Chain A
Amino acid sequence: MDAKLLPPTADMLRFLPETILTIAGTLLLLLEGFKKDEDSRTVISTLTAIAIALAMYGTVVAYGNPGLAFSGMIISDGFAAFFRLVVLAVGLLTVLSSTAYLEREKSSTGEFYVLLLFSLAGQCLMAAANELIMVFIGLEVSSIASYILAGYLRDDKRGNESALKYFLLGSFATAFLLYGVAWVYGMTGSTNLLVIRAALEAGVPSMTMVGAAAGLMLVGFAFKISAAPFQVWAPDVYQGAPAPVSGFLSAGPKAVAFAVMIRVFQTGFEAIAPRWEPVLWMMALATMTIGNFAAMWQNNIKRMLGYSSIAHAGYVLVAVTAHSTTGTAAAMFYLAAYGLMNYGAFAIVTYVAGRGEEHVTLDHFKGLSQRQPAVAALLTVFLLSLLGVPLTAGFFGKFYIFKAAIDSHMVWLTALGLLNSAVAAYYYLRVLVVMYMHESESTAHAPEIPGGLKITMWLTAAATVVLGVFPGLVLDFATKFAALNK
């Protein structure tokens, strides 16, 4: 191999989004050190938004140059582009809704945005990783930034608890993942997914060993997607983290963790699919059930959304278990839809919670429809979408997931999953009940909605409805690139 100063241009283009995000993050970190005056906050948040927009453009460029990069470590395909766009969109929404939030909490510093950019870089890398070491690096970059974001309000006890819990359990899970990677390397002599697949297809050396390796990696992923029995951290973290960050954590990192999981299992471990399918089947059912039944008893909205995110992870796992092109497309669509609707719900919680996030129990939502009809109506859209009422993205996503499950002959999982979603109706309805059917207890004048938050709410609501009526806009793209290993 001839030595070159720079890697080939095509490789660079395939890696463009991560490059942009990393450079922007580093520059902003320096900028933060130089600027001391108050206005620089808006400057930094604006620059962050621009950087994310540029990264989106970079994603399009990378998509235009499909193929492997850096000796097969990175893959630029439609699947990667899809998830890069999803996480970047979630990142943009986070920037939009955080500016006013940080102002309100008197913690407006540039590091928040820098951490966000690094986390996004890690997530984009995960989406495009074709190699287990890259997966690990992306995961770590993303996670470490996320841990800090979760505890960003350093004087907030719950925030600290949240960050610490997330960090300790997260590191533990990552260790499992890394151990699994080591086993795989030991057996196949490679960490490249394509090579691993070829090696396993040629012959499984020892089912016990491969199974253990896959199992160890599954533990790592299950933690990141908050699948049972590794879901316990999620409600605590979502409850304690700042609301915009909770929205971010429940949408972006989770989506991309699913992406990696799908890629690893449907590429690397394709050969032993009959072994992992039943495990995922059980996991999907347990995750849905635990999430839904636990959410029924919550009075704190953030905590309830935390449990609901577990339940939704269960639905997506159904799609992964289906193990088909339709299933993968359904998972992709659902993760995009879930990102939008759940972020919208968290944006509204951010607004209603008020300074210090004191108004986060159901009681504080009493009579919201009277005080703030538009906000209540938007939250209704998100909750109906999470519940799965037709003409919302959530309904179509769920519909398509269960269609994929039926196509893969998983009739029982479908029936149980759908019954689960009927159970879920109960706790989403509770919020509607307090918003619309109770009288307001507070007479305080509602504060004005900050601009960025307002845009986030309306944008996500509009997208939720549009994707519900015309799912083809996203689904066609997802379907086109869902066939990973064909």
Chain B
Amino acid sequence: MNLLDLVIAAPLAGFFLTLALPKSNASLIKTFTLIYSIAVFAGSLLLVGTALDRPSAMTWVTDTPWISTPAIRYHVGMDGVSVWLVLLSTFLTPLSILLSWKYIDHRVKEFFAFLLLLEFGLVGVFVSLDLFLFYVFWEICLVPMYFLIGIWGHDRRIYAAVKFFLYTMAGSVLMLAAILYLYNKSGTFDYPAMLTMMQTGKLSLTHLEETLLFLAFFFAFAIKVPLFPLHTWLPDAHVEAPTAGSVMLAAVMLKMGTYGILRFCLPMFPNSSKENANWIIILAIVGIIYGALVAMVQPNMKKLVAYSSVSHLGFVVLGLFSGNQWGLDGAVYQMLNHGISTGALFMLVGFLYERQHSLEIKDYGGVATPAPQLSTVFLVTTLASIGMPMLNNFIGEYLVLQGAAMINIWWAVFAATGVILSACYMLWLYQRTFFGETPESVRHHMHDLGGREWACILPLVALMIWMGVYAQSFLPSIGASNKTILDRTTMTTRAEVANNGR
């Protein structure tokens, strides 16, 4: 039992503790969950130091048997990539709780309890080193998010919640089949053990097997990312979800898919990853451009931000399948960046909604006059989102484009149009919302950011600047972990070639 186990288990305990609190005392529930989640975040901060000392290997490892037949182990650990994603989850949970302070006025207890349950699932996904355990956490994440969308969402919330659940479920059952197949071949669910067996040749897959297994995993992850054309659940889920739900969904849950590709698809199926890279990259680029174009014509702010996510996540997938250090580093950095900046965008849209009770862009205008602080923060976030230098997304997008250019310059060229388009739709959104005539209703409802709202958004803005100015805090550890993954893929390929030669 080390600190990481505590960080995993604490949100689950918090979920039950919150359920045990009296239903009538809403402020107690909010205060408790806030303090509790801040404590979890503080605990996860203590993990960073050790994880950064040796980012290329797993730290904070716990490996004990859980179920004897079939041999399933509770095997967790974190490297230079997962540490940041764990931190992202534990960091955004208290912010989401603070964000929902006033917005959630009915069934308060369940809402905050579900946020903690979601945190439990998310942290678990990013640290699992046993395929069964990973699948367990992967599915657990579904349940709280389903309820968050379905209970506290907007008008079409039920449709969106069910669609979200079924899409993800359809993908993940195929992954389960693949996991079972791998167990049948290797006799273990333990991920590092399986990789070792693959490297030493104890576990060898035929070409067909590898392709099918890769596709089964990839399909599950691609739905979650979501990769064009599997993205249709995302706009629905985002638009209907309550603000905190959208933030957690965009900022962390989508990363489950890209993390899965990085952690499992690439190292386990290096050959298939290479063979299938072309069409996946093409889909990613189509997603980048398509997402941006659709975002541009959205009359609904949340839908706009949701489609911009499709576009941004296309960059991540592009980076992952570029198969070189730049691409991978950029992809991981972009996962974090997207979490910060899109999380912030959803938050700000939520602030606007709380004031005006509308998500339609046409209901706004000239917000900058009555709410200058809100406008300024929104501008910084917009600039971050469109990849302005010195802000976080620039670095990630640059690295991804560099990685893509290394394999095919045209991919970089097409993907780069996404950056330009993102400037179009975001600045146009900004212009229509914050500049121009101020309608009477806006003048009436729009007040500037309050203390609680500043507390929500300021940490994110600070991170945008930090990650944009001094990426050196983050990139070396990410790079080291990615290098391990890359080395593994090339080593396996070489072994394959050597075998063929013999």
Looking at the complex, which of A189-197, A304-312, A410-418 is the stretch in contact with chain B? A410-418
A426 neighbours in B (Cβ, 8 Å): 162, 166
A475 within 8 A of B: yes
A407 neighbours in B (Cβ, 8 Å): 184
A390-B139, A436-B147, A437-B161 as given contacts; A470 in contact with B70, CB under 8 Å = no
Instruction: Give Cα A389 to B139, complex, Å.
Output: 7
CB-nearest residue of chain A to B147 = A436
- Return the contact of A389 from the options B142, B157, B170, B181 (Cβ within 8 A): B142
- Within B82-107, the residues touching A (CB, 8 Å) are none
- Return the contact of B69 from the options A425, A437, A475 (Cβ within 8 A): A475
* 0/1 interface trace, chain B 159-181, chain A, CB 8 Å (1 if under): 00110011001100110110011
- Within B115-173, the residues touching A (CB, 8 Å) are 132, 135-137, 139-140, 142-143, 146-147, 150-151, 157-158, 161-162, 165-166, 169-170, 173
B146 neighbours in A (Cβ, 8 Å): 429, 432
Interface size class of A (residues with CB under 8 A): 20 to 34
- Within A379-407, the residues touching B (CB, 8 Å) are 384, 389-391, 395-396, 399-400, 402-403, 406-407
Q: Indicate if the CB atoms of B173 and A384 lie closer than 8 Å.
A: no
Instruction: Give Cα A406 to B177, complex, Å.
Output: 8
B183 within 8 A of A: yes
CB-nearest residue of chain B to A404 = B180
A403 neighbours in B (Cβ, 8 Å): 70, 180, 183-184
Q: Indicate if the CB atoms of B67 and A437 lie closer than 8 Å.
A: no
Q: Indicate if the CB atoms of A411 and B181 lie closer than 8 Å.
A: yes
CB-nearest residue of chain A to B152 = A437
A426-B162, A476-B68, A479-B69 as given contacts; A419 in contact with B170, CB under 8 Å = yes
Closest-CB distance, B247 to chain A (whole angstroms): 21
A471 within 8 A of B: yes
* 0/1 interface trace, chain A 188-217, chain B, CB 8 Å (1 if under): 000000000000000000000000000000
- Return the contact of B135 from the options A390, A436, A470, A479 (Cβ within 8 A): A390
Q: Indicate if the CB atoms of A470 and B67 lie closer than 8 Å.
A: yes
A422 within 8 A of B: yes
Q: Indicate if the CB atoms of B165 and A425 lie closer than 8 Å.
A: yes
CB-nearest residue of chain B to A400 = B70
A67 neighbours in B (Cβ, 8 Å): none
- Within A422-456, the residues touching B (CB, 8 Å) are 422, 425-426, 429, 432-433, 436-437
Instruction: Give Cα A472 to B87, complex, Å.
Output: 34
Instruction: Give Cα A470 to B150, complex, Å.
Output: 31
Q: Indicate if the CB atoms of B170 and A422 lie closer than 8 Å.
A: yes
A239 within 8 A of B: no
- Return the contact of B177 from the options A395, A396, A418 (Cβ within 8 A): A418
A436 neighbours in B (Cβ, 8 Å): 147, 150-151
Q: Indicate if the CB atoms of B69 and A472 lie closer than 8 Å.
A: yes
Instruction: Give Cα A35 to B143, complex, Å.
Output: 52
Interface size class of B (residues with CB under 8 A): 20 to 34
A421 within 8 A of B: yes
- Return the contact of A476 from the options B69, B132, B135, B140 (Cβ within 8 A): B69
A369 neighbours in B (Cβ, 8 Å): 110
Closest-CB distance, B277 to chain A (whole angstroms): 25
Q: Indicate if the CB atoms of A418 and B174 lie closer than 8 Å.
A: yes
A429 neighbours in B (Cβ, 8 Å): 146, 162, 165-166
B143 neighbours in A (Cβ, 8 Å): 384, 389
Instruction: Give Cα A483 to B30, complex, Å.
Output: 54
Q: Indicate if the CB atoms of A425 and B169 lie closer than 8 Å.
A: yes
A406 neighbours in B (Cβ, 8 Å): 177, 180-181, 183-184
Q: Indicate if the CB atoms of B140 and A391 lie closer than 8 Å.
A: yes
* 0/1 interface trace, chain B 46-78, chain A, CB 8 Å (1 if under): 000000000000000000000111100000000
B70 neighbours in A (Cβ, 8 Å): 400, 403
Closest-CB distance, A289 to chain B (whole angstroms): 15
B68 neighbours in A (Cβ, 8 Å): 472, 476
Instruction: Give Cα A425 to B136, complex, Å.
Output: 16
Instruction: Give Cα A418 to B220, complex, Å.
Output: 13
Q: Indicate if the CB atoms of B173 and A418 lie closer than 8 Å.
A: yes
CB-nearest residue of chain A to B12 = A391
Q: Indicate if the CB atoms of B181 and A433 lie closer than 8 Å.
A: no
Closest-CB distance, B280 to chain A (whole angstroms): 21
Q: Indicate if the CB atoms of A390 and B136 lie closer than 8 Å.
A: yes
* 0/1 interface trace, chain A 280-296, chain B, CB 8 Å (1 if under): 00000000000000000
- Return the contact of A414 from the options B150, B158, B180 (Cβ within 8 A): B180
- Within A10-25, the residues touching B (CB, 8 Å) are none
B157 neighbours in A (Cβ, 8 Å): 437
A433 neighbours in B (Cβ, 8 Å): 150, 158, 161-162
A411 neighbours in B (Cβ, 8 Å): 177, 181
CB-nearest residue of chain A to B132 = A399
Closest-CB distance, B53 to chain A (whole angstroms): 33
Instruction: Give Cα A406 to B146, complex, Å.
Output: 30
Instruction: Give Cα A422 to B168, complex, Å.
Output: 9
Instruction: Give Cα A402 to B68, complex, Å.
Output: 17
Q: Indicate if the CB atoms of A399 and B181 lie closer than 8 Å.
A: no
- Can you show 27 pairs from A to B with CB atoms below 8 A apart? A384-B143, A389-B139, A389-B140, A390-B135, A390-B137, A391-B136, A399-B180, A402-B180, A403-B180, A406-B181, A407-B184, A411-B177, A411-B181, A414-B177, A418-B173, A418-B174, A418-B176, A422-B170, A422-B173, A426-B162, A429-B162, A432-B146, A433-B161, A436-B151, A471-B67, A475-B69, A476-B69
> Which A residues lie at the B interface, using CB under 8 A?
369, 384, 389-391, 395-396, 399-400, 402-403, 406-407, 411, 414-415, 418-419, 421-422, 425-426, 429, 432-433, 436-437, 470-472, 475-476, 479
- Supply 10 further A-B pairs (C-beta < 8 A) apart from A426-B166, A437-B150: A369-B110, A384-B143, A399-B176, A403-B180, A414-B177, A418-B173, A425-B166, A436-B151, A437-B157, A479-B69
